[in-house]
Structure 1
Protein backbone atom coordinates (compact mmCIF):
# COMPACT_ATOMS: atom_id res chain seq x y z
CA UNK A 1 0.00 0.00 0.00
CA UNK A 2 1.40 3.37 -1.02
CA UNK A 3 0.28 6.40 0.96
CA UNK A 4 -0.38 9.87 -0.43
CA UNK A 5 2.88 11.59 -1.36
CA UNK A 6 4.88 8.34 -1.19
CA UNK A 7 6.12 6.66 -4.39
CA UNK A 8 7.87 3.38 -5.16
CA UNK A 9 11.61 3.91 -5.51
CA UNK A 10 11.73 1.79 -8.67
CA UNK A 11 9.24 4.11 -10.35
CA UNK A 12 11.29 7.19 -9.48
CA UNK A 13 14.43 5.59 -10.80
CA UNK A 14 12.71 4.79 -14.11
CA UNK A 15 11.53 8.38 -14.55
CA UNK A 16 14.99 9.68 -13.64
CA UNK A 17 16.72 7.42 -16.18
CA UNK A 18 14.35 8.43 -18.98
CA UNK A 19 14.76 12.13 -18.18
CA UNK A 20 18.55 11.75 -18.08
CA UNK A 21 18.57 10.07 -21.48
CA UNK A 22 16.50 12.88 -22.93
CA UNK A 23 18.60 15.64 -21.39
CA UNK A 24 21.89 14.03 -22.39
CA UNK A 25 20.80 13.32 -25.95
CA UNK A 26 21.78 15.41 -28.95
CA UNK A 27 19.67 18.51 -29.59
CA UNK A 28 17.83 18.41 -32.91
CA UNK A 29 16.36 21.48 -34.60
CA UNK A 30 12.90 20.93 -36.00
CA UNK A 31 10.84 23.06 -38.35
CA UNK A 32 7.09 23.31 -38.29
CA UNK A 33 5.61 21.93 -41.49
CA UNK A 34 2.00 22.12 -42.60
CA UNK A 35 1.02 19.04 -40.57
CA UNK A 36 3.99 18.18 -38.30
CA UNK A 37 7.48 19.17 -37.17
CA UNK A 38 10.33 18.14 -39.48
CA UNK A 39 14.12 18.06 -39.29
CA UNK A 40 14.47 19.64 -42.74
CA UNK A 41 13.55 23.22 -43.66
CA UNK A 42 11.10 23.61 -46.52
CA UNK A 43 10.58 27.12 -47.88
CA UNK A 44 7.17 26.35 -49.34
CA UNK A 45 5.78 24.90 -46.11
CA UNK A 46 7.17 27.81 -44.08
CA UNK A 47 5.53 30.24 -46.49
CA UNK A 48 2.21 28.46 -46.06
CA UNK A 49 2.55 28.70 -42.27
CA UNK A 50 3.29 32.44 -42.39
CA UNK A 51 0.58 33.54 -44.81
CA UNK A 52 -3.10 34.08 -44.09
CA UNK A 53 -4.88 31.67 -46.38
CA UNK A 54 -8.22 32.56 -47.90
CA UNK A 55 -10.52 31.24 -50.59
CA UNK A 56 -9.23 31.56 -54.15
CA UNK A 57 -10.80 34.51 -55.94
CA UNK A 58 -12.45 33.96 -59.30
CA UNK A 59 -10.22 36.48 -61.11
CA UNK A 60 -6.89 34.83 -60.31
CA UNK A 61 -6.50 33.39 -63.82
CA UNK A 62 -6.74 36.79 -65.47
CA UNK A 63 -3.75 37.99 -63.41
CA UNK A 64 -1.49 34.96 -63.01
CA UNK A 65 -1.42 33.05 -66.27
CA UNK A 66 1.45 31.52 -68.31
CA UNK A 67 3.87 33.95 -69.97
CA UNK A 68 2.80 37.09 -68.10
CA UNK A 69 5.05 40.11 -67.67
CA UNK A 70 5.56 40.29 -63.87
CA UNK A 71 5.43 44.09 -63.54
CA UNK A 72 2.21 44.18 -65.59
CA UNK A 73 0.66 41.38 -63.54
CA UNK A 74 1.54 43.10 -60.26
CA UNK A 75 -0.24 46.35 -61.22
CA UNK A 76 -3.22 44.37 -62.55
CA UNK A 77 -3.33 42.47 -59.24
CA UNK A 78 -3.39 45.73 -57.27
CA UNK A 79 -6.09 47.11 -59.56
CA UNK A 80 -8.28 44.03 -59.17
CA UNK A 81 -8.09 44.42 -55.39
CA UNK A 82 -8.74 48.16 -55.75
CA UNK A 83 -5.47 48.90 -53.97
CA UNK A 84 -4.05 51.44 -56.42
CA UNK A 85 -3.78 54.95 -54.97
CA UNK A 86 -6.43 56.52 -57.17
CA UNK A 87 -7.52 60.02 -56.19
CA UNK A 88 -10.84 58.91 -54.70
CA UNK A 89 -8.93 56.66 -52.28
CA UNK A 90 -6.31 59.30 -51.48
CA UNK A 91 -9.10 61.72 -50.53
CA UNK A 92 -10.11 59.33 -47.73
CA UNK A 93 -7.01 60.23 -45.70
CA UNK A 94 -6.13 63.74 -46.92
CA UNK A 95 -7.63 66.66 -48.78
CA UNK A 96 -7.04 66.18 -52.49
CA UNK A 97 -8.51 67.11 -55.83
CA UNK A 98 -10.21 63.90 -56.96
CA UNK A 99 -10.53 64.94 -60.61
CA UNK A 100 -8.92 62.53 -63.07
CA UNK A 101 -5.59 63.98 -64.20
CA UNK A 102 -5.94 62.39 -67.65
CA UNK A 103 -9.40 63.48 -68.82
CA UNK A 104 -9.88 66.41 -66.37
CA UNK A 105 -13.60 65.59 -66.11
CA UNK A 106 -14.66 62.84 -63.72
CA UNK A 107 -13.63 61.64 -60.27
CA UNK A 108 -10.61 59.40 -60.61
CA UNK A 109 -11.57 55.96 -59.34
CA UNK A 110 -10.35 52.53 -60.37
CA UNK A 111 -13.42 51.91 -62.54
CA UNK A 112 -13.15 55.33 -64.14
CA UNK A 113 -9.47 55.01 -64.94
CA UNK A 114 -9.99 51.54 -66.49
CA UNK A 115 -11.62 52.38 -68.91
CA UNK A 116 -14.42 54.91 -68.56
CA UNK A 117 -11.92 57.76 -68.82
CA UNK A 118 -12.00 59.22 -72.34
CA UNK A 119 -8.18 59.10 -72.47
CA UNK A 120 -7.77 55.47 -71.39
CA UNK A 121 -10.79 54.34 -73.41
CA UNK A 122 -8.98 55.34 -76.62
CA UNK A 123 -6.11 52.99 -75.77
CA UNK A 124 -8.34 50.09 -74.72
CA UNK A 125 -10.48 50.42 -77.83
CA UNK A 126 -7.39 50.58 -80.05
CA UNK A 127 -5.99 47.38 -78.57
CA UNK A 128 -9.10 45.22 -78.24
CA UNK A 129 -12.06 46.84 -80.02
CA UNK A 130 -11.59 44.98 -83.30
CA UNK A 131 -10.76 41.71 -81.58
CA UNK A 132 -13.70 41.66 -79.15
CA UNK A 133 -16.35 42.98 -81.52
CA UNK A 134 -19.79 42.75 -79.85
CA UNK A 135 -18.11 41.67 -76.59
CA UNK A 136 -16.16 44.93 -76.34
CA UNK A 137 -16.81 46.92 -73.18
CA UNK A 138 -15.24 49.75 -71.21
CA UNK A 139 -16.95 48.70 -67.99
CA UNK A 140 -14.53 47.24 -65.43
CA UNK A 141 -16.81 44.47 -64.16
CA UNK A 142 -17.78 43.39 -67.67
CA UNK A 143 -14.14 43.24 -68.76
CA UNK A 144 -13.13 41.13 -65.74
CA UNK A 145 -16.04 38.76 -66.33
CA UNK A 146 -15.00 38.35 -69.95
CA UNK A 147 -11.31 37.65 -69.34
CA UNK A 148 -12.07 35.39 -66.38
CA UNK A 149 -14.63 33.20 -68.14
CA UNK A 150 -14.21 30.64 -70.88
CA UNK A 151 -16.18 32.26 -73.70
CA UNK A 152 -13.05 33.12 -75.73
CA UNK A 153 -10.78 30.63 -77.47
CA UNK A 154 -7.27 30.15 -76.11
CA UNK A 155 -5.39 32.50 -78.44
CA UNK A 156 -7.93 35.30 -78.22
CA UNK A 157 -8.17 34.95 -74.45
CA UNK A 158 -4.40 35.24 -74.07
CA UNK A 159 -4.24 38.26 -76.41
CA UNK A 160 -7.05 40.08 -74.59
CA UNK A 161 -5.64 39.27 -71.15
CA UNK A 162 -2.19 40.44 -72.09
CA UNK A 163 -3.57 43.58 -73.77
CA UNK A 164 -5.52 44.25 -70.56
CA UNK A 165 -2.33 43.96 -68.50
CA UNK A 166 -0.42 46.20 -70.90
CA UNK A 167 -3.18 48.83 -71.00
CA UNK A 168 -3.64 48.93 -67.21
CA UNK A 169 0.12 49.27 -66.71
CA UNK A 170 0.47 51.98 -69.38
CA UNK A 171 -2.46 54.03 -68.07
CA UNK A 172 -1.30 53.76 -64.46
CA UNK A 173 2.24 54.78 -65.41
CA UNK A 174 0.86 57.73 -67.39
CA UNK A 175 -1.41 58.75 -64.52
CA UNK A 176 1.54 58.76 -62.11
CA UNK A 177 3.68 60.79 -64.50
CA UNK A 178 1.03 63.48 -64.98
CA UNK A 179 0.26 63.60 -61.25
CA UNK A 180 3.92 64.38 -60.58
CA UNK A 181 4.22 67.17 -63.12
CA UNK A 182 4.82 65.51 -66.48
CA UNK A 183 2.82 66.35 -69.58
CA UNK A 184 0.17 63.95 -70.83
CA UNK A 185 1.65 61.70 -73.49
CA UNK A 186 -0.02 62.08 -76.88
CA UNK A 187 -2.48 59.22 -77.39
CA UNK A 188 -0.93 58.37 -80.76
CA UNK A 189 2.42 57.80 -79.03
CA UNK A 190 0.91 55.81 -76.15
CA UNK A 191 -0.96 53.58 -78.60
CA UNK A 192 2.18 52.92 -80.61
CA UNK A 193 4.36 52.11 -77.59
CA UNK A 194 1.80 49.89 -75.89
CA UNK A 195 0.85 47.94 -79.01
CA UNK A 196 4.51 47.42 -79.86
CA UNK A 197 5.06 45.94 -76.42
CA UNK A 198 2.16 43.54 -76.94
CA UNK A 199 3.52 42.52 -80.36
CA UNK A 200 6.96 41.87 -78.92
CA UNK A 201 5.47 39.60 -76.27
CA UNK A 202 3.36 37.69 -78.77
CA UNK A 203 6.46 37.21 -80.93
CA UNK A 204 8.20 35.54 -77.98
CA UNK A 205 5.17 33.36 -77.34
CA UNK A 206 5.26 32.30 -81.01
CA UNK A 207 8.86 31.14 -80.64
CA UNK A 208 8.01 28.97 -77.64
CA UNK A 209 5.57 26.98 -79.76
CA UNK A 210 3.02 26.29 -77.03
CA UNK A 211 0.08 24.11 -78.00
CA UNK A 212 -2.98 26.14 -78.90
CA UNK A 213 -0.91 29.32 -79.29
CA UNK A 214 0.47 28.69 -82.78
CA UNK A 215 0.89 31.82 -84.96
CA UNK A 216 -0.50 34.00 -82.18
CA UNK A 217 1.21 37.12 -83.53
CA UNK A 218 -0.37 36.63 -86.94
CA UNK A 219 -3.68 36.04 -85.18
CA UNK A 220 -3.24 39.39 -83.38
CA UNK A 221 -2.82 41.24 -86.68
CA UNK A 222 -5.75 39.46 -88.32
CA UNK A 223 -8.20 39.98 -85.48
CA UNK A 224 -7.42 43.66 -85.11
CA UNK A 225 -7.91 44.27 -88.82
Structure 2
Protein backbone atom coordinates (compact mmCIF):
# COMPACT_ATOMS: atom_id res chain seq x y z
CA UNK A 1 0.00 0.00 0.00
CA UNK A 2 1.47 3.31 -1.02
CA UNK A 3 -0.40 5.47 1.49
CA UNK A 4 1.13 6.23 4.87
CA UNK A 5 1.51 3.47 7.40
CA UNK A 6 -1.40 4.52 9.59
CA UNK A 7 -3.50 6.52 7.10
CA UNK A 8 -5.90 3.58 6.66
CA UNK A 9 -6.74 3.36 10.38
CA UNK A 10 -9.93 5.42 10.12
CA UNK A 11 -11.16 3.10 7.38
CA UNK A 12 -10.84 0.14 9.74
CA UNK A 13 -11.44 1.45 13.25
CA UNK A 14 -14.77 3.26 13.20
CA UNK A 15 -17.47 3.20 15.87
CA UNK A 16 -20.03 1.16 13.91
CA UNK A 17 -17.57 -1.61 12.95
CA UNK A 18 -18.06 -5.19 14.10
CA UNK A 19 -14.94 -5.96 16.18
CA UNK A 20 -14.08 -9.32 14.61
CA UNK A 21 -14.50 -7.85 11.12
CA UNK A 22 -12.37 -4.81 12.02
CA UNK A 23 -9.65 -7.03 13.49
CA UNK A 24 -9.64 -9.18 10.36
CA UNK A 25 -9.39 -6.05 8.20
CA UNK A 26 -6.51 -4.74 10.34
CA UNK A 27 -4.55 -7.97 9.92
CA UNK A 28 -5.30 -7.93 6.19
CA UNK A 29 -4.18 -4.31 5.82
CA UNK A 30 -0.90 -5.18 7.53
CA UNK A 31 -0.55 -8.13 5.08
CA UNK A 32 -0.23 -10.60 7.95
CA UNK A 33 -2.72 -13.24 6.83
CA UNK A 34 -1.25 -16.66 6.18
CA UNK A 35 -1.92 -16.44 2.45
CA UNK A 36 -0.18 -19.10 0.40
CA UNK A 37 2.46 -16.74 -0.96
CA UNK A 38 3.57 -16.13 2.66
CA UNK A 39 3.22 -19.80 3.66
CA UNK A 40 5.46 -20.74 0.71
CA UNK A 41 8.19 -18.59 2.26
CA UNK A 42 8.00 -20.69 5.44
CA UNK A 43 7.37 -24.09 3.85
CA UNK A 44 8.62 -24.72 0.33
CA UNK A 45 6.61 -27.09 -1.83
CA UNK A 46 3.10 -26.12 -0.72
CA UNK A 47 0.45 -25.58 -3.35
CA UNK A 48 0.04 -21.81 -3.64
CA UNK A 49 -2.97 -21.94 -5.98
CA UNK A 50 -5.98 -19.88 -4.91
CA UNK A 51 -8.72 -22.26 -3.76
CA UNK A 52 -11.46 -19.80 -4.69
CA UNK A 53 -10.67 -19.57 -8.41
CA UNK A 54 -8.00 -22.25 -8.95
CA UNK A 55 -6.40 -19.98 -11.56
CA UNK A 56 -3.62 -18.00 -9.87
CA UNK A 57 -1.22 -18.02 -6.93
CA UNK A 58 -2.86 -16.86 -3.71
CA UNK A 59 -1.72 -13.56 -2.22
CA UNK A 60 -3.56 -10.88 -0.29
CA UNK A 61 -4.04 -8.75 -3.39
CA UNK A 62 -5.21 -11.70 -5.43
CA UNK A 63 -7.58 -13.00 -2.78
CA UNK A 64 -8.97 -9.47 -2.20
CA UNK A 65 -10.16 -8.72 -5.05
CA UNK A 66 -8.21 -9.80 -8.14
CA UNK A 67 -9.58 -13.35 -7.86
CA UNK A 68 -12.51 -13.92 -10.21
CA UNK A 69 -14.59 -15.37 -7.34
CA UNK A 70 -13.93 -12.55 -4.86
CA UNK A 71 -14.20 -9.81 -7.48
CA UNK A 72 -17.73 -10.97 -8.34
CA UNK A 73 -18.74 -10.84 -4.67
CA UNK A 74 -17.16 -7.39 -4.25
CA UNK A 75 -18.88 -6.14 -7.39
CA UNK A 76 -22.27 -7.44 -6.24
CA UNK A 77 -21.92 -5.59 -2.94
CA UNK A 78 -20.42 -2.27 -4.03
CA UNK A 79 -20.83 -1.50 -7.74
CA UNK A 80 -24.22 0.13 -7.13
CA UNK A 81 -22.86 2.90 -4.94
CA UNK A 82 -19.29 3.14 -6.20
CA UNK A 83 -20.26 3.46 -9.89
CA UNK A 84 -17.19 4.66 -11.83
CA UNK A 85 -15.02 4.49 -8.68
CA UNK A 86 -15.51 0.73 -8.50
CA UNK A 87 -12.28 -1.24 -8.54
CA UNK A 88 -11.00 -4.71 -7.76
CA UNK A 89 -7.44 -3.45 -7.25
CA UNK A 90 -6.40 -3.72 -3.58
CA UNK A 91 -4.63 -0.33 -3.44
CA UNK A 92 -7.51 1.43 -5.20
CA UNK A 93 -10.06 -0.13 -2.81
CA UNK A 94 -7.99 0.94 0.21
CA UNK A 95 -7.75 4.48 -1.18
CA UNK A 96 -11.55 4.50 -1.49
CA UNK A 97 -12.17 3.46 2.12
CA UNK A 98 -9.89 6.23 3.41
CA UNK A 99 -10.88 8.92 0.90
CA UNK A 100 -11.92 12.18 2.57
CA UNK A 101 -15.07 13.94 1.48
CA UNK A 102 -17.17 10.87 0.73
CA UNK A 103 -20.83 11.20 1.77
CA UNK A 104 -21.29 9.63 5.24
CA UNK A 105 -23.83 6.95 4.30
CA UNK A 106 -21.79 5.86 1.31
CA UNK A 107 -18.58 5.77 3.38
CA UNK A 108 -20.20 3.65 6.10
CA UNK A 109 -21.68 1.23 3.53
CA UNK A 110 -18.33 0.93 1.77
CA UNK A 111 -16.28 0.43 4.92
CA UNK A 112 -18.68 -2.09 6.36
CA UNK A 113 -18.95 -3.96 3.05
CA UNK A 114 -15.14 -4.01 2.86
CA UNK A 115 -14.74 -5.49 6.32
CA UNK A 116 -17.56 -7.99 5.94
CA UNK A 117 -16.27 -9.12 2.55
CA UNK A 118 -12.74 -9.66 3.85
CA UNK A 119 -14.07 -11.68 6.76
CA UNK A 120 -16.44 -13.83 4.71
CA UNK A 121 -13.92 -14.48 1.93
CA UNK A 122 -11.20 -15.46 4.39
CA UNK A 123 -13.55 -17.88 6.15
CA UNK A 124 -14.61 -19.40 2.82
CA UNK A 125 -10.99 -19.68 1.75
CA UNK A 126 -10.07 -21.46 4.99
CA UNK A 127 -13.00 -23.85 4.71
CA UNK A 128 -11.94 -24.84 1.22
CA UNK A 129 -8.25 -25.02 2.14
CA UNK A 130 -9.12 -27.46 4.94
CA UNK A 131 -11.32 -29.70 2.80
CA UNK A 132 -14.75 -28.49 3.81
CA UNK A 133 -17.57 -28.12 1.32
CA UNK A 134 -17.35 -24.99 -0.83
CA UNK A 135 -20.19 -22.49 -0.81
CA UNK A 136 -21.33 -21.40 -4.28
CA UNK A 137 -20.76 -17.72 -5.01
CA UNK A 138 -24.51 -17.02 -4.95
CA UNK A 139 -24.83 -18.46 -1.43
CA UNK A 140 -21.78 -16.63 -0.09
CA UNK A 141 -23.07 -13.46 -1.72
CA UNK A 142 -26.44 -13.79 0.01
CA UNK A 143 -24.82 -14.53 3.38
CA UNK A 144 -22.50 -11.55 3.08
CA UNK A 145 -25.33 -9.31 1.95
CA UNK A 146 -27.43 -10.47 4.90
CA UNK A 147 -24.63 -9.77 7.38
CA UNK A 148 -24.29 -6.23 6.03
CA UNK A 149 -28.04 -5.59 6.04
CA UNK A 150 -28.42 -6.99 9.56
CA UNK A 151 -25.76 -4.59 10.85
CA UNK A 152 -27.23 -1.62 9.01
CA UNK A 153 -30.68 -2.53 10.28
CA UNK A 154 -29.34 -2.62 13.83
CA UNK A 155 -27.70 0.77 13.38
CA UNK A 156 -30.92 2.20 12.00
CA UNK A 157 -32.95 0.80 14.90
CA UNK A 158 -30.54 2.58 17.25
CA UNK A 159 -31.04 5.73 15.18
CA UNK A 160 -27.41 5.83 14.13
CA UNK A 161 -26.68 7.32 10.71
CA UNK A 162 -30.25 8.13 9.63
CA UNK A 163 -31.66 6.06 6.79
CA UNK A 164 -28.60 3.95 6.08
CA UNK A 165 -30.52 0.79 5.26
CA UNK A 166 -32.69 2.54 2.68
CA UNK A 167 -29.56 4.06 1.14
CA UNK A 168 -27.94 0.63 0.87
CA UNK A 169 -31.03 -0.94 -0.73
CA UNK A 170 -31.42 1.96 -3.14
CA UNK A 171 -27.93 1.40 -4.55
CA UNK A 172 -28.42 -2.23 -5.56
CA UNK A 173 -28.11 -2.95 -9.24
**TM-score normalised over the length of structure 2:** 0.95
Question: Are 1:68 and 2:13 an aligned pair?
Answer: no
Between the aligned partners of 2:31 and 2:5, the Cα distance in structure 1 is 17
1:217 to 150, 162, 165: 165
Question: Are 1:86 and 2:35 an aligned pair?
Answer: yes
Q: Post-superposition shift, 1:168?
A: 0.4
Q: Post-superposition shift, 1:183?
A: 2.4
Give 1:198's aligned residue: 148
Q: Post-superposition shift, 1:66?
A: 1.1
The unaligned stretches of length 5 or more in structure 1 are: 1-54
**TM-score normalised over the length of structure 1:** 0.73
Question: Are 1:114 and 2:64 an aligned pair?
Answer: yes
Between the aligned partners of 1:151 and 1:171, the Cα distance in structure 2 is 28
Q: Post-superposition shift, 1:56?
A: 6.7
The answer to which structure, 1 or 2, has the higher relative contact order (CA under 8 A, 6+ apart) is 2
Q: What is the Cα-based RMSD across aligned positions, in Å?
A: 1.2
Q: Find the residue that maps to 1:125 and give its secondary structure.
A: helix
How many pairs were matched up?
Answer: 169
Between the aligned partners of 2:31 and 2:154, the Cα distance in structure 1 is 31
Give 1:157's aligned residue: 107
Q: Post-superposition shift, 1:182?
A: 1.2
Q: Post-superposition shift, 1:130?
A: 1.1
Larger helix share, 1 or 2 = 2
The unaligned stretches of length 5 or more in structure 2 are: none
Between the aligned partners of 1:111 and 1:138, the Cα distance in structure 2 is 9
Give 2:48's aligned residue: 98
Structure 1's consecutive aligned runs of 4 or more residues displaced over 4 angstroms after TM superposition are none
